[in-house]
Amino acid sequence: MRTRAAVAVEAGKPLEIMEVNLEGPKAGEVLVEIKATGICHTDEFTLSGADPEGMFPAILGHEGAGVVLEVGPGVTSLKPGDHVIPLYTPECRECEYCLNPKTNLCQSIRSTQGQGLMPDGTSRFSMLDGTPILHYMGCSTFSNHTVLPEIALAKVRKDAPFDKICYIGCGVTTGIGAVINTAKAEIGNRSIVFGLGGIGLNVIQGLRMAGADQIVGVDLNPAKVEMAKRFGMTDFVNPTEVEGDLVGHLVELTGGGADYTFDATGNVQVMRTALESAHKGWGESIIIGVAPAGAEISTRPFQLVTGRSWRGTAFGGARGRTDVPQIVDWYMDGKIEIDPMITHTMGLDDINKGFDLMHAGESIRSVVVY
Ligand code: NAD
Ligand code: AHE
Ligand code: ZN
């Protein structure tokens, strides 16, 4: 079939909207009509050329929601008409990783996914002249239609609005999951969230659900303060307004350091500040942000010797086929909020405006509605 997609033709260039060819689903695969997709900072990271796994031409996008149109041979858990959220972290329920309760990082298709290919080592997308186009994070939600493995789709209820629940495909689940699944934050915790964007606000939302006593937000952009307060931030720190040592300031503000700190910036200097502002003896710092190729984290080992832990999380530690339908229920039951964070919506033709708004710090989440 033919479909319309925003193609990342080259690193650092705007996406090009074009008709592309899409082959139908093979064994174990599913054809999905994407109804809406968010634009996550990770899409920008890859488009910028900073992603070691970034390859072009590719169809980016990994925060979508849509409807199953067709299933390939052997698919048993989905049928045409089902509503689904694509999963960049699949859940095969069979691999060594899925069978280990300590991780959500299903590895059954990770190597081909990282090469922009379907599990059989080929792409379903091509340009009209036949040039192959790569998949991205196994999702490629910047295409109106896409093909995914069955294990990379969460089946969700049909009354949930696509233009909101697409955000559960990455930002909402990552932020809330980092608190609940990764930190396992206790009632009464004091925490610091670095970066008050589409992920950091959901960390704040997760901390409020977990009963935090203090939620400090740190951002260079004061325009993020109002929304962060709405979601539960109790204190705001703009590093440019702190005289002297930022770590010292944060440690004092949290009464000795935070129980949990979260990096949602992708900046390795910020990651160090986050680790060092965690409480001596027990503070845990969780890296969510994705750093550019070649970037490395550092600190004095003494920081770890004296009881701080450095950890990381992908997709908030969530097992997508199991957890995502539940998070959709939380949204539909009013337990979590999504709508205010979706500050802009646009059609596919205007997708580059979504990236411009992100660069300008004017949006929280832009959502493309097909
Ligand atoms: P975003 O652009 O919406 O938000 C980033 C925020 O960080 C902005 O508000 C910005 O002003 C702030 N910021 C930037 N530099 C800063 C600094 N030095 N100090 C303080 N604040 C600073 O991005 P997002 O969509 O929220 O994504 C955040 C990060 O999380 C990105 O690196 C993204 O790639 C990553 N991410 C990781 C996962 C995962 O599974 N680990 C999932 C989604 C996104
Ligand atoms: N390809 C990058 C790493 C990108 C990355 O860390 N991705 C996160 C999800 S970000 C979603 O917005 C993730 O899931 N990582 C685990 C994995 O297996 O990719 C690089 O540095 O090579
Ligand atoms: Zn993302």
328-360 pLDDT tens trace = 999 999 999 999 999 999 999 999 999 999 999
pLDDT, tens digit, 9 for 90 and up, residues 230-282: 999 999 999 999 999 999 999 999 999 999 999 999 999 999 999 999 999 99
- Considering the chain, tell me which residue range(s) the CATH 3.90.180.10 domain(s) occupy: 2-169+338-369
Residue closest via CA to ligand 1's atom 5 equals: 197
ipTM of the prediction greater than 0.90, yes or no: yes
Angle (nearest 5°) at CA 317 between 93 and 176: 130
pLDDT bin (cut points 50, 70, 90) of residue 172 is very high
Quote the ligand 2 centre to 314 CA distance (angstroms). 7
Q: Is the CB of 130 under 6 A from ligand 2?
A: no
Q: Is the CB of 318 under 6 A from ligand 2?
A: no
pLDDT, tens digit, 9 for 90 and up, residues 8-47: 999 999 999 999 999 999 999 999 999 999 999 999 999 9
Specify the DSSP class assigned to residue 258. B
pLDDT, tens digit, 9 for 90 and up, residues 292-322: 999 999 999 999 999 999 999 999 999 999 9
Specify the DSSP class assigned to residue 349. G
Axis-axis angle for helices 351-359, 41-48 (nearest 10): 90
Contact assessment for residue 197 and residue 264, using Cβ atoms and an 8 Å cutoff: yes
Number of neighbours of residue 27 by Cβ within 10 angstroms = 12
Report the CATH superfamily, name and number, of domain 175-313: NAD(P)-binding Rossmann-like Domain (3.40.50.720)
Fold of domain 2-169+338-369: Quinone Oxidoreductase; Chain A, domain 1 (3.90.180)
- Considering the chain, tell me which residue range(s) the CATH 3.40.50.720 domain(s) occupy: 175-313
> What pLDDT score does 239 carry?
98
Residue closest via CA to ligand 2's atom 13 equals: 314
Q: Is 3 a catalytic residue?
A: no
Residue closest via CA to ligand 2's atom 1 equals: 53
Contact assessment for residue 123 and residue 132, using Cβ atoms and an 8 Å cutoff: yes
Catalytic residue among 29, 37, 62, 166: 62
Contact assessment for residue 45 and residue 33, using Cβ atoms and an 8 Å cutoff: no
> What pLDDT score does 221 carry?
98
How far apart CA 52 and CA 112 sit, in angstroms, is: 15
Six-digit token pair at 275? 């680790």
Q: Is 365 a catalytic residue?
A: yes
User: Is residue 165 classed as helix, strand or coil in its secondary structure?
Assistant: helix
Q: What is the mean pLDDT of residues 152-175?
A: 98
> What pLDDT score does 16 carry?
98
